[in-house]
Each structure stands twice: as structure tokens, then as C-alpha cells.
Structure 1
Amino acid sequence: MGMGSLTMFTLCAVMILDTLTASAAIGPSAFSWWVIMLAGFVLPYTLVVTELGSTWPAEGGIYDWVKRAFGTRMAARTSYLYWINVGLWMPSVYILFAGTFSSLYWPKMALHWQILLCLVLTWLTVWFCNISTSVCLKIARWGAFAKIIVIAVLGFAGIRYFLQHGLANNFEWHNLIPHLNESSRFLPAIIYSLLGLELVASMGKMIKSPEKTMRIAMFLAAILISALYLFGTFGILAALPVSQISLVSGIIDAMKIIFGQSEGARVILNILCVLTLFSFISNMVTWTSGSSRTAAEAAKSGELPACLGILSRRFHTPVGANVATGVVSTLVILCYSQLASDKSDLFWIIFSFSSCIFLLPYLLLFSAWFRLRDKETETPRPYRVPGGIFGQWLVAGVCLLFVIQGIILFVFPDLFDGKIEMSHSLPIVIGIIVTLLAGELCLLQYNRKMQSASSKL
């Protein structure tokens, strides 16, 4: 794979519409925050992955690096967190689907009907992933185009709206400067939107000159992703005041204002809505299929429960892991729907919870890089992060701090205001504890199998 192919692969794999409204909810200062995240986090992040990926090119990516640095048990925890995150994330995506759908087609759709729609979509996703890998690939490909079209149209339409009607928000210089105010609760969504760049390394030996191509492709993809997000963010902020941005239906709400109520506008709005909804489904089909295959492989080696390794006799798809993902998603949405006051609250609680789980493997990723620098000093490295021991501490420290602050702000979003809202934080903390305990039970089972196998030798 060359530079162009690698950049587009990363762009399509990482970019999602889930966090677009959260980015817009930060306000005009979101533009400055994206630049800060690119320079402060993405740059060192890409350098670390380039060193790891060019030195140890393997399809397992983060799993293989953690295993090499910390051993099989910690690698097993990584596989578990990677897999379980998709089942935890799926409800928030389909809450967005239900909110977008109801905003345009059923404005008075009750929350319980939206939850029912989420459950139907969850099991539709499981079915897609069970029937054929080729179907999943086609859905992923078309979903990538849908995402780009929606963001591009939203951005250009926002510019057109601005030229005709002005801006719904004040874009003066003092509002563009980063502020740690109430909107800071959505800052972790920017970090979340830029994670996943290490998927490039899964291409392994297919990459031409990985020591050069990998880091440039990742950073180019990150810049393109940021530009597209900011383009879409501008479209929303051009039409909607920050105070009126709904995390669930903000995209469609902005489009309604931008395109107006004419018959032609209604047609365009319907097309964009369908593309948006399809992109949500494509995200979940892509990630469910990929994470389930990883889980199935881990189950074969005994790191995860054997039921996750069950394959379809006809299609050879990971039926066991797919169904388990559906069960996890169903339980999460049924449990958390009892705690949320409205759909936006429900979305943000579940999204924050799943994002914390998603961020945890990145603590292991940067720690593994730091550990391998000391553990395998003699291993030839086609690319090495510059700076010697000082650069090693600086890069690892900065990356870890960004990830840790992301986790903290997802759990305690009002921390900068000196407040802790237990109605938001407690369900997330409980969810994290339950998820980690379940993972430790899986690890305990794995340890017993290993001990049993070694005793027979």
C-alpha cells in the first residue's frame, strides 16, 4: 500500500459522524481546540505508532505490542477491552440514529419507541455481520462515501447560509480562543474522534517503506479528518446557536434551518438524512465485524470465553462474538435507559461510558512503547522517535496525559467548573467497574486453562 491508499484507509476507518454535534457544542473555540489536539496529541501519537508498526509489523497491532511488552495476560485484557467496547458503543450510535430519524420523520416519537428502534438496529447489525463478510465490506465502503458527502454538504451549505443570513454564533477572536468553560465537557470527544490511527499498522508488510509512509499517512489522515470535522462543525454553528445544539439531532436540526422548507429542500434533506442514518449503520457493521473476528481469534487461544469463538458453518463469520456483542448492547441500553432523563442525556451517558473503555487500551499502547524502548534496546528500528531518553519520557507522558484527561472528563464532565454531577458520573463509574470485573473473570478462566495445560506436560 502506498501513501494515498493508506491515508484513505485510515480516513474511512477512523472518521465517524457520532461526535460531530459534540464538537459543535464546544462552540467557536472548537477550531482552536482541534489545532491544539493535532499538535499536542496526534503528532506524538503518530510517531509512537510509526516506531511500533515499522519495527514489529503484525496484523495484531496493539495486541501484539502489548503482548511483547507486558506478556500474554495484559494482551488478553487488551483484546477484551477492544471487543467489549463495540457492544458498549453501539447503543449510543443507534440512539443518534433514532434521534435523527424522529427529528425529521416522527417529531413526537416517545423515548421508549426510540429505544425499541435501537434494539431492532442492534440485532440487524448482528445479522449483517453473521451472513457474509463481503456484505460488511460493501456496507463499510458505501458508508465511508456517505459520511464524506454529509459533512461536505453540511459545510458548504453552512458557508452559503452564512453569506446569505450571517452566523448564528459569534466568531469574534475572543470566542475562538480556547476556554475551560461549561462546553469543555465535550473536549474528550475530539480525542475520541482522532483515535484509531494505529489501524494502519494492521496492514503490516503490505506497506511500502513503513518507516516513512506510515507516519505521514497517519498525520495526513488526521489533518483531513480534523478538516472534515471542522467543516461540518462550522455548518452546524452557522445555523444553530450553541445553546440550541442537540447532541442527538443537531445535524438534522441544522440542515432544516439551512435548507428551509421548500419542496426541493425537503428532497435534499431526506437524501442527506438517509445518508446520515446509513453511515451510522455502516460504522457499527464495520466495527462489529472487525472486533468480533479479533475476539474469535482470542477465544481460540483461550484468552476469551470459548463461546466467542463459534463460527458460522456456512459463512465462516464469528457468530458467537457477534451475538455476544448484540447481547451486551441490548443490556446496556435497557439498563441506562432507566437512568437518563431524555435522549440527549441517554446518548451522552452511554457514549461517555463506552469511550472510557475505548480509551483504556491506549494507556497500554503508550506504556508498551515506553517499555519496549527499555526492554528491547538491541532490536533494529527502521524509525525511532527522536529525542533520546528525554523524548521518550516527553512523548509517552504527553500522550498518557491526554488519554487520562479524556477519561476523567468523560466521567466528570463538569470538573473544570468545580462540580461533580453524580447522576451522570456514578452510572459510568459503576459500568466501568462491572466491565473490568467481567474482563478479570475471563482472565481468571484463561489462567486456569494455562495452569491446567502446564500441569499435564
Structure 2
Amino acid sequence: MALDLQAPALAPAARESSKLKRHFGRFDILFFLICTIVGVDTIATVAASGGEAFTWMVVLAVVFFIPQALLFSELGTAFPQEGGPYLWTRMAFGHLAGAINNFLYWVTNPVWLGGTLAFSGAYALQVFFNDGKSFSTPVFYLITIPFIWVAVLAAVLSFRVGKWITTIGAFARFLLLGLFVVTVAIYAAQNGVHGLSAGAYVPTAGGFVALVGVLLFNYVGFELPSSAGEEMKDSTRDVPFAIARSAVFSFLLYAVPILGILLVLPLGQVTNFGGFVDAIKTVFTVYGGQVTKAGPELTGAGAAIGGVMGIVFVICVLTSGVTWIMGSDRALAVSGYDGAAPRFLGVISERLGTPVRVNIFSGIVSTLVLVLANTITGGDAAKFFGAVLGVTISTTLISYLLIFPSLWKLRRSHPDVPRPYRMPAYRILTVVLMALLAFTVVQLMAPGAFFDWFGKGFHPDGWSADEGGVYLLTELVPVVVFIVVGVLFWVAGRRTRRDNEAMAHDLEKSTGPVFR
């Protein structure tokens, strides 16, 4: 069988992929992955669940994080074409499944950028530069809307330039989390340890239900650089290298700060939204300031260092959005010239080598999400954060329900494709990954299902126990709408698919079977 890796969309793919340039090296991929996986906006969400959060984080690192890394090491090296996660799903299950799944995979990111990331950045500025007082609605939008469009601009830039933004983001994480851990140690030496008892670290079923969504959300993303597979210098060597090292760095960058928060701060002081920013302000009083009944107050060097770290925090959440927009926008553009989305979206800029049209589309969706979510929740910070984060996590994880098993299917449908790296025990590990995902999606839609749906300890912050039906709708309706849009994208790509099939047929007659 002749292998033509451009065959899935012969003429369109050749035309668009010819505009791509190979700027993505080994360490670029490593830093990109650190930005992708380490999201500082959810650190406090995990720590707020107490000691067992750390225990479950370790357990899921073994049964989910590591198997996922092995899975994407194989897919990323065996099928290194542009559009990675979309292409794998489409090759395994067809254009309709690829269209729906890829829209779910893509839309998560503008929702996340315009929701929790923009809000988290604004909250950090509020804490360090506005004495913790809420911004007025006009000021809130003056901060958050430029935040969104700076991220979009970064994604529009050529990868030759854009990759340095993600590198800066990775080092911002090293600086922020490293200084936080050191400061936690100083704070503990001065004020004592409020650590939890050993019993607090014992895992429970209720704790697992409450935590599994955000922990899995924190742990996904190894596939994202493969969305730019044809922009990598050497995917065969660099993908496994970057995944292995980023897995170690990412786990430590999550685990050590979370453990520090649990050991030093009273659990009641850690909240889901903004909790990490509040924790930073509290421990940074060692440089100048004090903790009062009204909360921490920074003065002198404490205020100066805190302000710098507030800006670094904003850089961290901004670059989280940038990496995901860069990757998912490329996947959507590939689906556009492969017949699973409107052809209009499947265009790569000749000058920049980036999917500018999709980037702008992401910015528009992010802005709409920001305005709608803030309006619907009436500016209620906790409800805003919880509702948008819930939709973001559920939509993200649903998309992996087809991405993960694509490895199994492609092992059977494309056995002759060279696999420089092969996932061990792939059947068992894929089943484990799928079972965890399915259980988690149910819990995200209906918190506490099978236990005590929306009961005490299960409903998100800002929601009361009698609002379960409303919450279910806020989670379910967007997903249904996204699936419908995915189907419409598939319909819109019909002509492109027909043209591609005709071209593939003509090529097969002249050269023999091609890779599809």
C-alpha cells in the first residue's frame, strides 16, 4: 500500500499545509505542554477539598495521567499530521464523528478563555491592585475583553514568534509556583503549620466524586501539540521526549503548591474561585504586611512582590488560554479543509502560517461567553466561576470519549503504519481511561448522581441544593447545542468531502491505494 499522508484532503490539504513552517522544536513542545497542562486557575479548586484532594491527585496521576501520556506518545508519533486529535478521530470513526467531536474539543477553549481564565485574571488584579474590592462592570469589561483579544493576537502570530509566548508562560509558572512554595515554607516557620491530620488524607467516595472532574481536566492536554504536527521539526523524537518530561514537571507544579496550601492555610480560607490568589496574598505577608480578621493586607516589600506576582499570575492564565487556542484552532482549521467543517474556516494564512479566521472566530465566541455568563449570573463571582468551569470541563472530557479509543481502532484499521512508540497494555489502559471519563462526565452534568444528586457536599459553590434542575440545564443545554453545531459543520463540509473523495479516487487509479 502506498502511503500518502496528505491524502485525507488532497488538494485542499496540499494547498493549506504548504503554508505551514517547521518552527516547533523539542523544547518548544515541552514548554508548550507545561503551559497546556498546568493551569493555575484550578489549583485552589483542588486544595479546597482538603487533604484527600492530594491523595486522589496522586492516584489519578497513576491511573489516568500516565496512561494518557503513553497513549498520545503513540498517536503523536504514528500519525504526525496537522490537526492531530481531529485527524485521529476522523480516521477512526468517520467525518461525522470527527466533526461533532472536534467542535466539542474546540469550543471548550473560547468558553474557558472568556469564562474562568478571563475572570481569574481580573480577580488577581482586583486583589493586588484594588484592595480586593470588586471592579465595576465597565472596568471588568475593560480588563477582560482586552485579555481575550491579547490571547487571540498571540495565537494569530507566526509560530516562530508565538512559541516564545508559551515559553514565557512556562517560566512564569516556574517563577510563580516556585516562589509561592518557598514563601509557604517561610510562612510556616514564622506562623506555624495548620496542617491537616493524617485522617484528612484518607480518600473517600464523596471526595472522589467532587474532585474527579477538575483533576482529570487538569491532567489532559498531551495531544495538543500534535494539532501542529506538520510544524514540528521531528515529531518522532520530540513528542515522546516532551510528553515524558512535561508529565513530571506538571505533576510537581500541581502537587507541591497544593500540598503547601493544605499544610499552611486553614482549610476554611481556601475557596474554589480566587483561592490561589488569596493564598498568595496571605503567605506573602512575610515580606511585609499582616493577616487581619478582614483578610491579608500587604505593605512595603510585600505589596511590591505581591503586585509583581499578581501580574505573573495573569501571564500564567493568559498563556493557558493561548496554548489551547493555538492547538484547538489548528484542529478546527484542518477539519475545515478535510470536509468536517465549513471550508471558509479551513484556511491557513499565507504570511503567518496560522489559522487566522478560526482565531478571530475564537475571539468572538470568547467575548460572547464572557458577556453572557456575567449577565446571566448577575456578576456573582462564585456562580460565574462554577457554571462556566463546569461546562468547560464536561465539554472537554466528552471530546476525549472518542479521542482515546481512536488508538485502539487505528491499531486495527491501520496496522501497517510505522509506530516508533507503542503504548503497552493498550486495551486495558484504554478501558480504564474510558471508564473514568464516562463516570466523570455524568458527575459533571449531575453532581452526586448515584450518591446524593446535588445534595450536601455535591453542589458547586454559589448554588443552593434546590437549584439542581437549573444547574443540570446549564451543563446539558450547551453540550446539546454544541453537538447540533457539530452536525451542521459536517453538513457544511459535504462538498469538500465529495471533492476530496473524487481526487483520492483519481489518485488511486494512477498510483495505487493511498493512506486515508
TM-score range, shorter chain: 0.7 to 0.9
Question: Counterpart of 1:411?
Answer: 445
Q: How does 1:304-315 map to 2 (within 5 A)?
A: 304-309=341-346, 315=352
Question: Counterpart of 2:123?
Answer: 99
- Structure 1 Cα separation of the partners of residues 25 and 360 of structure 2: 36
Residue 124 of structure 1: which of 147, 150, 159 is its match? 150
The C-alpha deviation readout for 1:105-154, integer Å capped at 9, x for no partner, is: 22222463435532332233334444655553332221111112111111
Question: Counterpart of 1:433?
Answer: 480
CA gap of 1:318–1:374, structure 2 versus 1, over 3 A, is closer
Question: Counterpart of 1:163?
Answer: 189
Once the 2 structures are TM-superposed, how far is the Cα of residue 454 of structure 1 from its aligned partner? 7.2
Residue 409 of structure 2: which of 371, 393, 410 is its match? 371
Q: How does 1:174-323 map to 2 (within 5 A)?
A: 174-181=199-206, 184-199=209-224, 201=226, 206-207=233-234, 210=237, 217-260=242-285, 261=289, 262-309=299-346, 315=352, 317-323=354-360
1:304 maps to a residue whose letter is: A
Q: Does the CA-based 8 Å contact 1:154-1:255 persist in structure 2?
A: yes
Q: Does the CA-based 8 Å contact 2:152-2:359 persist in structure 1?
A: yes
Q: Does the CA-based 8 Å contact 1:130-1:317 persist in structure 2?
A: yes
- Structure 1 Cα separation of the partners of residues 43 and 26 of structure 2: 27
1:70 maps to a residue whose letter is: F
- Structure 2 Cα separation of the partners of residues 7 and 310 of structure 1: 27
2:388 maps to a residue whose letter is: I
Residue 18 of structure 1: which of 41, 62, 75 is its match? 41
The count of residues paired between Structure 1 and Structure 2 equals: 450
Q: How does 1:341-352 map to 2 (within 5 A)?
A: 342-352=380-390
Q: Aligned with 2:336: secondary structure?
A: helix
Pair 1:29 & 2:13 matched? no
1:330 maps to a residue whose letter is: T
Question: Counterpart of 1:65?
Answer: 88
The TM-score normalised by the length of structure 1 is 0.87
Once the 2 structures are TM-superposed, how far is the Cα of residue 446 of structure 1 from its aligned partner? 1.4
CA gap of 1:75–1:233, structure 2 versus 1, over 3 A, is same
2:493 maps to a residue whose letter is: Y
Q: Which moved more, 1:250-259 or 1:111-120?
A: 111-120
Pair 1:444 & 2:484 matched? no
Q: Which moved more, 1:329-338 or 1:120-129?
A: 120-129
Once the 2 structures are TM-superposed, how far is the Cα of residue 58 of structure 1 from its aligned partner? 3.1
Q: Does the CA-based 8 Å contact 2:52-2:201 persist in structure 1?
A: yes
- Structure 1 Cα separation of the partners of residues 240 and 406 of structure 2: 18
CA gap of 1:314–1:380, structure 2 versus 1, over 3 A, is closer
Question: Counterpart of 1:90?
Answer: 113
Once the 2 structures are TM-superposed, how far is the Cα of residue 455 of structure 1 from its aligned partner? 9.4
Once the 2 structures are TM-superposed, how far is the Cα of residue 93 of structure 1 from its aligned partner? 0.4
CA gap of 1:115–1:246, structure 2 versus 1, over 3 A, is farther
Between Structure 1 and Structure 2, which shows a larger proportion of helix residues?
1
Q: Does the CA-based 8 Å contact 1:130-1:315 persist in structure 2?
A: yes
2:133 maps to a residue whose letter is: K
The C-alpha deviation readout for 1:52-107, integer Å capped at 9, x for no partner, is: 33433434322232232222333333432332222111121001111111122222
CA gap of 1:115–1:349, structure 2 versus 1, over 3 A, is farther
Determine what percentage of the aligned residue pairs are the same residue. 25
Unmatched tracts of structure 2, length 5 or more: 1-23, 290-298, 455-467, 507-516
Q: Aligned with 1:413: secondary structure?
A: coil
Once the 2 structures are TM-superposed, how far is the Cα of residue 184 of structure 1 from its aligned partner? 4.4
1:371 maps to a residue whose letter is: K
Q: Does the CA-based 8 Å contact 1:23-1:187 persist in structure 2?
A: no
1:152 maps to a residue whose letter is: G
Question: Counterpart of 1:358?
Answer: 396
1:95 maps to a residue whose letter is: F
2:473 maps to a residue whose letter is: L
Q: Does the CA-based 8 Å contact 1:156-1:235 persist in structure 2?
A: no
CA gap of 1:109–1:382, structure 2 versus 1, over 3 A, is closer
The C-alpha deviation readout for 1:289-331, integer Å capped at 9, x for no partner, is: 3333333333234432244346667656433212211221122
Question: Counterpart of 2:432?
Answer: 398
Residue 99 of structure 2: which of 71, 76, 80 is its match? 76
- Structure 2 Cα separation of the partners of residues 118 and 274 of structure 1: 14
The C-alpha deviation readout for 1:172-204, integer Å capped at 9, x for no partner, is: 221111123368423311111111112465658
Once the 2 structures are TM-superposed, how far is the Cα of residue 381 of structure 1 from its aligned partner? 4.2
CA gap of 1:382–1:144, structure 2 versus 1, over 3 A, is closer
Unmatched tracts of structure 1, length 5 or more: none
Once the 2 structures are TM-superposed, how far is the Cα of residue 233 of structure 1 from its aligned partner? 1.2
The TM-score normalised by the length of structure 2 is 0.78
Q: Aligned with 1:19: secondary structure?
A: helix
Q: Does the CA-based 8 Å contact 1:26-1:187 persist in structure 2?
A: no
Q: Which moved more, 1:93-102 or 1:334-343?
A: 334-343
- Structure 2 Cα separation of the partners of residues 136 and 8 of structure 1: 12
- Structure 2 Cα separation of the partners of residues 96 and 409 of structure 1: 24
CA gap of 1:230–1:369, structure 2 versus 1, over 3 A, is same
Q: How does 1:377-392 map to 2 (within 5 A)?
A: 377=415, 379=417, 381-387=419-425, 392=427
Once the 2 structures are TM-superposed, how far is the Cα of residue 263 of structure 1 from its aligned partner? 0.7
- Structure 2 Cα separation of the partners of residues 285 and 9 of structure 1: 10
- Structure 2 Cα separation of the partners of residues 314 and 376 of structure 1: 35
Q: Does the CA-based 8 Å contact 1:86-1:288 persist in structure 2?
A: yes
The C-alpha deviation readout for 1:337-396, integer Å capped at 9, x for no partner, is: 233362122112112212222222311122212222333445554444444xxx61x222
1:405 maps to a residue whose letter is: F
Q: Does the CA-based 8 Å contact 1:87-1:328 persist in structure 2?
A: yes
CA gap of 1:160–1:414, structure 2 versus 1, over 3 A, is farther
Question: Counterpart of 1:422?
Answer: 469
